[in-house]
Amino acid sequence: MEAAEPGDDLVFPVDAVGRDHPLVAFWRRSAERAVGEALAARHFKVLSLLPDLRVRRLPAESLGVVDSRRDLRNLNWPEDLAR
């Protein structure tokens, strides 16, 4: 939240290899309309929202993430968590 500036809809970390992580983010209510419209249109990919929002990308390290490959790893299945 401290990294957000006036006008930012969304602030999220970017890992060491440049991948966006908008689910680990600060979302302002100003993004609500774009999210609602995307859901109504059955567009469920979060990344598809980014062109419609004012986004601030931050290096993961600036948010206290020690190892972005580990700390921001995708966990989609129980097996992912077990690893």
Q: Measured over all CA atoms, what is the biggest interatomic distance in the chain, rounded to whole angstroms?
A: 40
- Give residue limits of the domains in the chain: 10-82
Domain 10-82 has CATH 3.40.50.300: no
Q: How far apart are CA 69 and CA 51, in angstroms?
A: 25
- Quote the pLDDT of residue 65: 67
- Average pLDDT over the chain, rounded to an integer: 88
- Quote the pLDDT of residue 53: 96
Beta bridge partners, 20, equal 14
Residue 23 confidence (pLDDT) above 80: yes
